[in-house]
A and B are shown apart, each in its own frame.
Chain A
Amino acid sequence: MSAAPRPGRSGLALGLVLTGLLAGAAVLSLVWTPYDPAAQDIGRRLLPPSAAHLLGTDHFGRDVLSMVMAGARASLGVALAATAIGLGVGAPLGLLAASRRDGVVDEAVMRVNDIVFAFPALVLAILLAAVFGPGAAGAIVAIGLFNVPVFARLTRAGALGQWSRDYVSAARAAGRSDLAISIEHIAPNLAGLLIVQAAIQAALGVGAEAGLSYVGLGVQPPSPSWGRMLNDAQTLAGTAPWLAVFPGLAIALSVLGLSLLGEGLRDRLDPAWERRP
Chain B
Amino acid sequence: MNQRPLRIGGRVLALAVAAVLTVLAAVAGGSGALAAAKDDLTLGAQLEPPNLDPTLGASVATDEVVYANVFEGLVRIGPDGGVRPGLAESWDISPDGLIYVFHLRRSVRFHDGAPFDAATAKFALDRARAPTSPNAQRPQLAAVRAVEAVDPATLRVTLSRPDGGLLDVLGWGGLVMVAPNSIAGAAARPVGTGPFRFAGWRRGDSIVLTRNPDYWGRPAPLARVTFKFISDPTAALAALKAGDVDAFPYFPAPESLAQLKSDPRFKVTVGATEGETLMAMNQRRPPLNDLRVRRALSYAIDRKAVIEGAMFGYGEPIGSHFSPRDPGYVDLTGRYPHDPARARALLAEAGYRDGLSLTMKLPPTGYARRSGEILAAQLAQVGVRVRLENLEWAQWLEQVFKNHQYDLTVVSHTEPKDYDIYGRPDYYFGYESPPVRALLAQLDATREPPERLRLLGLIQRQIADDAVNGFLFEFPKLGVWRADLDGLWTDAPIEVNDLTQVRFRGAAAAGAAPSAAAPILVVAAGGAAALAAAALVGLALFRAGPAYAGRRLAILVLTLLGASLVVFAVTEIAPGDPASFMMGLNANPQGLASLRAELDLDQPAPARYLAWLAGMAHGDFGLSYTYRTPVADLILERLQVSLPLALYALALAAAFAFPAAVVAAANHRRTVDRAIGGLTQLGVAAPNFWLAMLLVLVFAVGLHWTSAGGFPGWREGLWPGLKALTLPAIALAAPQAAVLTRVLRAALVDTLSQDYMRTARARGLSRLQALWRHGLPNALVPTLTVLGLQISFLLAGGVIIETVFFLPGLGRLVFQAIAQRDLIVVQGVVMTLVLAVAVTNFVVDLAYGLVDPRLRGDRR
Contacts and interface: CB of A to CB of B under 8 A. Distances in A.
B697 A118 contact: no
Nearest to B811: A215
Contacts of A253: 685
Given A45-B308, A130-B817, 6 more contacts: A115-B562, A126-B799, A130-B571, A131-B571, A214-B803, A239-B258
Contacts of B309: 40, 42, 45, 59-61
A248 B804 CA distance: 14
Given A221-B373, A248-B690, A238 B259 contact: yes
Contacts of A4: 677, 742, 745-746
B518 interface: no
Chain A contact surface mostly: helix
A277 B746 contact: yes
A169 B693 CA distance: 57
B628 interface: no
Interface residues of A, number: 64
A175 interface: no
Given A5-B673, A42-B305, A237-B697, A222 B388 contact: yes
Interface in A107-166: 111-112, 114-115, 117-120, 122-123, 126-132
Interface in B819-860: 821, 823, 826, 829-830, 833-834, 837-838, 841
A88 interface: no
Chain B contact surface mostly: helix
A234 B677 contact: no
Interface string B226-244: 0000000110010000000
Interface residues of B, number: 86
Nearest to A263: B681
A235 B800 contact: no
Contacts, number: 205
18 contacts: A4-B742, A38-B380, A40-B374, A42-B309, A60-B373, A118-B563, A118-B834, A118-B838, A120-B833, A126-B830, A131-B570, A214-B689, A235-B233, A235-B255, A238-B701, A248-B690, A252-B686, A252-B690
A244 B695 CA distance: 11
Interface of B: 233-234, 237, 253, 255-256, 258-259, 302, 304-305, 308-309, 373-374, 376-378, 380, 388, 390, 555, 558-560, 562-563, 566-567, 570-571, 573-575, 664, 669, 673-674, 676-678, 681-682, 684-687, 689-690, 693-694, 696-697, 701, 739, 742-743, 745-747, 749-750, 786, 792-793, 796-797, 799-800, 803-804, 811, 814-815, 817-818, 821, 823, 826, 829-830, 833-834, 837-838, 841
Contacts of B378: 40
Given A131-B574, A251-B690, A259-B684, A123 B826 contact: no
A3 B742 CA distance: 9
A233 interface: yes
B393 to A, nearest CB: 16
A210 interface: yes
A75 B810 CA distance: 27
Given A40-B309, A127-B826, A277-B743, A234 B377 contact: no
A170 B390 CA distance: 61
B796 A128 contact: no
B693 A252 contact: no
A244 B797 contact: no
Contacts of B694: 244-245, 248
A220 B372 CA distance: 14
A131 B817 CA distance: 11
B746 A60 contact: no
Interface centre among A1, A39, A245, A248 (most CB of B within 10 A): A248
Interface centre among A128, A130, A230 (most CB of B within 10 A): A130
A42 B309 CA distance: 6
